[in-house]
Amino acid sequence: QVHLVESGGGLVQPGGSLRLSCTASGDNLDYYTVGWFRQAPGKDREGFSCMRSRDGWSFYADSVKGRFTMSVDIAKNTVNLQMNNLIPEDTAVYYCATIFALVGRCYAPDFGSWGQGAQVTVAS
């Protein structure tokens, strides 16, 4: 089972950009499905971006499509999330997660390893 450590996040104005990174240790991510999830106060955890680096399958929720880009750097065993044109509704705690399987959905209960979470706040 991999151990995940997130970095990045913070406070940004609407329209700004942030980048999150998630570094994995303990195994290589090549055979994993990796994902980014977020949870705002009082809301359920949302799976908004997932990817299988093995075959390139990816998923983006409509709420982030065209604004967020997820990538996996196998050489560095790192998952990155570039977030552009941020809006206040993007404010949440962001988590990276993995499952040692090639799944075709972005459903939080499927994922077994989780990062510690990173706060992203979009406000002026």
Q: Residue 30 has what pLDDT? A: 87
80-120, pLDDT tens digit by residue? 999 999 999 999 999 999 999 888 999 999 999 999 999 99
Q: Can you tell me the mean pLDDT for 34-50?
A: 96
Mean pLDDT, the chain, whole residue set: 95
Give residue 5's pLDDT band: very low, low, confident or very high (50, 70, 90): very high
Q: Can you tell me the mean pLDDT for 62-85?
A: 96
Give residue 78's pLDDT band: very low, low, confident or very high (50, 70, 90): very high
Q: Residue 40 has what pLDDT? A: 96
Q: Which of 42, 46, 33, 54 is nearest to 97 (CA)?
A: 33
Q: Residue 101 has what pLDDT? A: 87
Q: Residue 91 has what pLDDT? A: 98
In sequence order, what are the residues at sequence separation of 6 or more whose Cβ sits closer than 8 angstroms to the Cβ of residue 72? 29, 34, 51, 53, 78, 79, 80
Q: Which of 12-16, 18-22, 71-75 has the lowest mean pLDDT?
A: 71-75
Residue 113 near residue 2, CB atoms below 8 Å: yes
